[in-house]
Amino acid sequence: MNTTVSYDFVNNNVVSDVAHVCNLAQVTPICIMFRDTSIDNVTIEFSNRDDAIRFTEEYLGSDDPADIQEYVV
Protein backbone atom coordinates (compact mmCIF):
# COMPACT_ATOMS: atom_id res chain seq x y z
CA MET A 1 0.00 0.00 0.00
CA ASN A 2 1.38 3.41 -0.98
CA THR A 3 2.09 5.94 1.75
CA THR A 4 2.14 9.71 1.20
CA VAL A 5 3.89 12.06 3.64
CA SER A 6 4.54 15.83 3.62
CA TYR A 7 7.73 17.43 4.93
CA ASP A 8 9.14 20.90 5.54
CA PHE A 9 12.50 21.44 3.86
CA VAL A 10 13.91 24.86 4.67
CA ASN A 11 17.14 25.14 2.67
CA ASN A 12 17.37 26.84 -0.71
CA ASN A 13 18.33 23.63 -2.49
CA VAL A 14 15.27 21.51 -1.64
CA VAL A 15 15.67 19.10 -4.56
CA SER A 16 19.23 18.27 -3.55
CA ASP A 17 18.22 17.91 0.11
CA VAL A 18 15.42 15.47 -0.73
CA ALA A 19 17.74 13.46 -2.98
CA HIS A 20 20.32 13.30 -0.19
CA VAL A 21 17.80 12.00 2.36
CA CYS A 22 16.53 9.43 -0.18
CA ASN A 23 20.10 8.27 -0.71
CA LEU A 24 20.82 8.00 3.02
CA ALA A 25 17.55 6.16 3.65
CA GLN A 26 18.08 3.99 0.56
CA VAL A 27 14.54 4.55 -0.72
CA THR A 28 13.19 5.39 -4.16
CA PRO A 29 9.91 7.29 -3.94
CA ILE A 30 7.12 6.78 -6.45
CA CYS A 31 6.48 10.51 -6.72
CA ILE A 32 7.87 13.74 -5.23
CA MET A 33 5.87 16.96 -5.38
CA PHE A 34 7.50 20.30 -4.62
CA ARG A 35 5.40 23.32 -3.60
CA ASP A 36 6.29 26.97 -3.29
CA THR A 37 5.10 27.21 0.33
CA SER A 38 6.87 27.49 3.66
CA ILE A 39 4.96 24.61 5.30
CA ASP A 40 4.72 21.09 3.86
CA ASN A 41 6.66 22.18 0.78
CA VAL A 42 7.54 18.59 -0.21
CA THR A 43 5.07 15.72 -0.48
CA ILE A 44 6.47 12.27 -1.18
CA GLU A 45 4.61 9.13 -2.19
CA PHE A 46 6.35 5.94 -1.09
CA SER A 47 5.58 2.43 -2.31
CA ASN A 48 5.17 1.22 1.27
CA ARG A 49 5.09 2.36 4.89
CA ASP A 50 8.57 0.97 5.64
CA ASP A 51 10.15 3.27 3.02
CA ALA A 52 8.25 6.23 4.48
CA ILE A 53 9.52 5.36 7.95
CA ARG A 54 13.15 4.99 6.77
CA PHE A 55 12.99 8.34 4.95
CA THR A 56 11.40 10.05 7.96
CA GLU A 57 14.02 8.63 10.32
CA GLU A 58 16.77 10.13 8.15
CA TYR A 59 14.85 13.39 7.70
CA LEU A 60 14.40 13.79 11.46
CA GLY A 61 17.68 12.22 12.54
CA SER A 62 15.63 10.13 14.97
CA ASP A 63 14.22 6.63 15.15
CA ASP A 64 11.95 7.44 18.10
CA PRO A 65 8.49 6.06 17.24
CA ALA A 66 6.80 9.13 18.76
CA ASP A 67 8.74 11.39 16.37
CA ILE A 68 8.04 9.16 13.35
CA GLN A 69 4.29 9.03 14.11
CA GLU A 70 4.07 12.78 13.69
CA TYR A 71 4.73 12.18 9.97
CA VAL A 72 3.87 8.57 9.16
CA VAL A 73 0.41 7.58 10.40
- Condensed to tens digits (0 to 9), the pLDDT of residues 16-53 reads 999 999 999 999 999 999 999 878 999 999 999 999 99
pLDDT at 2 over 90: yes
Cα(4)–Cα(32) distance, rounded to whole angstroms? 10
**pTM of the full predicted structure?**
0.94
Mean pLDDT of 8-17: 93
**Residue 37 has what pLDDT?**
85
Residue/partner pairs of 30-38 with CB below 8 Å, 24 or more apart: 30/2, 38/8
**Residue 57 has what pLDDT?**
98
